[in-house]
Every structure is written in C-alpha cells, then in structure tokens.
Amino acid sequence: MNFNLTNLYIVGQKMKKSIVIALAMMGISACSNQNVLTEEVATYSPPKNIIMVVGDGMGPAYITAYRYYRDNLNTASVEQTVFDRNLVGASSTYPALVSGYVTDSAAGATALSTGVKSYNGAIGVDVNKKPVETVLEFAKKQGKKTGVVVTSQINHATPASYLSHNESRQNYNEIADSYFDEKLNGLFKMDVMLGGGWKYFLRDDRQLVNEFKSSGFQYIDKYQQLETITPNQPVIGLFADVGLPWALDDEIPYRLSVMTKAAINQLDNENGFFLLVEASQVDWGGHNNDIVAAMGEMDDLAKALEYFEQYVKNNPDTLVVVTADHSTGGLTIGANGIYEWKPETLRIMKHTPKFIADKLTEAAITPESTRLLFNFDLTDEELTALRTVKEGGFEEAEDMGNPYKDKDASKVNKELYKAIKHIADQRTNTGWTSSAHTAIDVPVFAFGSHSEEFIGLNNNIDIANKIFTLLGK
C-alpha cells in the first residue's frame, strides 16, 4: 500500500507540474487567483545549486548504527539523526552485468555521475571504454561553477568519475594529469578541489600544483588557510599525502563540513553551482572492519549534512541529494547470536584503533597508557591480549634473527590494530561478514528544491539522469 501511494504521489506531482506549466505557457490561469499559478510555476523552477553527496560504502546498517551511536541516553526515545529526517528512498547499486552484481567505487560513481552503467574500475567511461559526459561537466557547460570536496585523495575513484575519463581507477597519475590537461571549451572543469593527494600532484615527473598556480589557481595545504582564500578565484587544496587522516584523528574536528563551507563560499554565484562532496572514508572503515573509525566518519558526514540543511533553509533554490555507491564490510549491529548492540564504547573513544596501535607499537602497554589512549579502563584480559600480540611479534622476529626492526614493528602494528578492533567489536557486539563490498541496496536522502524527484526505489543511474534533467539536459 505504501509503495502504491508513493508512486501515486510521484505521478500526481508530475501531472500537476505538467498541467500548471502548460497552462502558464498558454497564459491561462489554473485557478481564479493568478498568484497561486505563479507560486506553482515558481515551485517547479529548476534548482539553482545542486549538492551531490556520496557516503562511500555507507550501506543501511551504517545509518542505523549511527542513530544508536548518537542516541541521547537521558531520553526515553531514540532520536532521529540528520539521515533519518531526510530519508526519501533507496537505490540499487549493481554495475554493468559484465562485472556481476557487486560494484566497486569506480563503477558506482560512474553510474551516479553519468547515468550509464559500466564495468568495475571504470572512470567516467562506458563498457566500451568510451568517455561519457558527467553531471559536473554538463553543469559547467551551463555556466555553473563546480567543485569537489572529498576526504580521500582528489583523484580517487569517486571524484575522478565526475571529473575525468579513464579505463582504470588505478591510473592515479593519469587521472591527476587529466584534471589539468582536459578542458571544457578551454576552461578547467572545476573551480574548487579540496581533499588529499600531494603524492599525485607534487611528483618528480610533473609538478601539477605549480601548473595550476601558473594558471590562476590558489594552492593551499593547511586547513587554516581555508579561512583566507581569495573569493572568486579557483582553488586547489591538498591536505595530506594520499587520503586525509581519520576524522577522529585529524587536527581539526569535522573537517568535511569545514571544507564544504569554504567550497560553497567560493562557488556561490548568480548562475549557481554543482558541488560533489564525498565522505570517502566510511568505506575505508568498512574495508578495515573498523567500527570506531566508521562511526567517526559518519559523524563527520552528519555534521556536513546539518550545515547543508541550514544552507537550504537560507537558499531554498538548492537541492541536496545524498546516497552511497555501495555498502562495505557486511556490517552487523548485533552479532554472535546475542540480541544487543552496545555503542557506549564508541561514544567514549577519542581516537581510532589505528592511532592507538601506532602509539602502543612504541609505548609500553600498561593500564595507565591504555587508559589515556582508549579513554576507558581495559580489563585484565584485554591488556593481556594486547601484550601477547606485541611481545609475541617481537619475540618471533628475534628468534628468526631478523635484523629489519622496522619490518618487525610494522607486523606488530598490524596485529595490534586487529586486536584493538576486536576489543571494540566485542564490547559493542559488532559483526562483519566481509572486508569488501556487498550488493545490497543503499539509502537515498534528499532535501531542498525538487527533492521529491528521488522518492522511492531508484536505480543508481536514475540519480544522475534526474540531475541531468534538472540541469536542463
């Protein structure tokens, strides 16, 4: 019944739009009050600004987990999050069937950016490896300013699929080069790029940053410089060698919202803008089966969405669409046959397991040192498990006569990371079924101008095609 009512609503809204616009074109009032007709036509004017948000790897379990993670324990109810109050539907994620039913981020982003399904690894190309126009490119052709803000390197799969065309996502240097080399009518495709990527833009064989600067771009490499960038001048900001640090470990809290605020300040103009925002590292948390890091990334994204909500209130001609390219890790909130999930540990922790592992690789594992890093007291069993991992790793290397101490430390670090993640999983009763992607549908959220277009079950290519339509294609 709900599905039929939803479809009926969508059909009714589209019919209403068509009738009102047709009558307006003929100069006929839809009712006795001409002001009502004017208001109806204005309602269906295309959005001036479009903000496309991708929570990479953010399947439905992440949304539910975040709700409980943020729950106020002093109230009787479980409060809604920014995700809950803007949920409008879902999306399938399968790539071109040559790659089966489980997508990677490149094919997923290509579907979201072009409206065309392609093979896993494809960056803005179809199954024949031919370039396909992206919504960002089309928006640029319409005179809008464009930008990308991500927490990965800016030439990673998702941003690349909006800005570039390449047969393989692994061609990172080629993709970075294309950002400078490939123009639209002699113009750069983007006005703002913020994220990581020193490794690819400050290379021995090509200093892309200098080339961008010579072409009029501002270059910044510290978050603090976001407050002092020159208005109405394109900017490239790179804040890490590859991806940014985990949200919980980064030098400023909520770095995604800080970057997006700066980007919108740069992009705001009379013709409007198209902005891609990616919470890239939700996916990385899923791949690592790291619930602590994943919830930190979800919180970082949520804060950016709350800013977008306020922006839309002040700029109602803006559309915000939020979805995921796929889900990662097979996250289970309530595992091991036990009917409970306990996020209390996650609320307490101030650093990721990787950060803690890095510190404990060098420092002694004591009740005092771990209390500072975990922000709670470990049990004797947990302390023993960590000591066993560390001592066993170094003793094994010593027995083998291995002189490569750095390599020994790296192995110990990895084992400590696993052990710390296990502590978090055990305390919360979190489960994982995979270290890779899954084929499940993902949620779709939308608010602002024309957000009703995304109600119901979408195919991932529908999202791009609806945006193309709203852009006038």
Q: Are 87 and 436 in contact (CB under 8 A)?
A: no
The letter for the amino acid at 386 is: L
Q: What local confidence, expressed as pLDDT, does residue 392 receive?
A: 82
Interatomic CA distance for residues 132 and 123, integer angstroms: 9
Interatomic CA distance for residues 404 and 47, integer angstroms: 59
Helices and strands (DSSP H and E) totals, the chain: 18, 14
Q: What local confidence, expressed as pLDDT, does residue 321 receive?
A: 98
Q: What is the pLDDT along the chain (473 residues), one digit of tens a residue?
A: 343 433 443 444 445 444 433 433 344 333 334 444 344 444 569 999 999 999 999 999 999 999 999 999 999 999 999 999 999 999 999 999 999 999 999 999 999 999 999 999 999 999 999 999 999 999 999 999 999 999 999 999 999 999 999 999 999 999 999 999 999 999 999 999 999 999 999 999 999 999 999 999 999 999 999 999 999 999 999 999 999 999 999 999 999 999 999 999 999 999 999 999 999 999 999 999 999 999 999 999 999 999 999 999 999 999 999 999 999 999 999 999 999 999 999 999 999 999 999 999 999 999 999 999 999 999 999 999 999 999 986 655 554 444 444 557 899 999 999 999 999 999 999 999 999 999 999 999 999 999 999 999 999 999 999 999 999 99
Residue 339 structure tokens: 């009917």
Q: Are 286 and 55 in contact (CB under 8 A)?
A: no
**Residues linked to residue 238 through DSSP beta bridges, in sequence order:** 195
Q: What local confidence, expressed as pLDDT, does residue 311 receive?
A: 98
Residue 375 structure tokens: 């922000």
Interatomic CA distance for residues 162 and 352, integer angstroms: 30
Q: Do domains 49-330+445-471 and 341-430 have the same CATH topology?
A: no
**What is the phi-psi region of residue 376: left when phi exceeds 0, alpha when psi lies from -120 to 50, beta otherwise?**
beta
Burial of 197 (C-beta count, 10 Å sphere; 0-12/13-18/19+)? buried
Catalytic residues: 105
Interatomic CA distance for residues 319 and 468, integer angstroms: 13
What residues does each domain of the chain span? 49-330+445-471, 341-430
49-330+445-471: CATH topology is: Alkaline Phosphatase, subunit A (3.40.720)
Nearest to 164 by CA among 242, 206, 100, 106: 106
Which H helix or E strand runs over 90?
A: strand 87-92
Helix 367-374 and helix 380-399, axial crossing angle in degrees, nearest 10: 110
Q: Which residues contact 380 (CB under 8 A, 6 or more apart)?
A: none
Interatomic CA distance for residues 473 and 161, integer angstroms: 19
Q: Are 303 and 256 in contact (CB under 8 A)?
A: yes
Looking from the CA of 1 toward its CB, the CA atoms found within 13 Å total 0
Q: Which residues contact 191 (CB under 8 A, 6 or more apart)?
A: 145, 146, 147, 234, 235, 266, 267, 273
Interatomic CA distance for residues 323 and 462, integer angstroms: 12
Residue 332 has a CB neighbour count (10 Å cut-off) of 16
Interatomic CA distance for residues 446 and 89, integer angstroms: 9
Map residue 246 onto helix, strand or coil. Answer: coil
Q: Are 461 and 113 in contact (CB under 8 A)?
A: no
Helix 60-69 and helix 291-314, axial crossing angle in degrees, nearest 10: 90
Give the phi and the psi of residue 426 in degrees, each rounded to 5. Answer: -65, -40
Give the phi and the psi of residue 236 in degrees, each rounded to 5. Answer: -120, 125
Residue 178 structure tokens: 């294309």
Q: Are 459 and 442 in contact (CB under 8 A)?
A: no
**Residues linked to residue 54 through DSSP beta bridges, in sequence order:** 278, 323
Q: Are 296 and 247 in contact (CB under 8 A)?
A: yes
Give the phi and the psi of residue 178 in degrees, each rounded to 5. Answer: -65, -25
DSSP assignment of 255-302: HHHHHHHHHHHHH--TT-EEEEEEETHHHHHHHTT-HHHHHHHHHHHH
pTM over the 0.85 mark: yes
Q: CA-CA-CA-CA torsion for 185, 45, 51, 5, nearest 10 degrees?
A: -130
The letter for the amino acid at 127 is: V
Q: Are 55 and 322 in contact (CB under 8 A)?
A: yes
Count the residues in the chain.
Answer: 473
Interatomic CA distance for residues 106 and 122, integer angstroms: 5
Q: Given the DSSP bridges, would you call strands 327-328 and 437-438 parallel, antiparallel or unpaired? A: antiparallel
What CATH class has 341-430? mainly alpha
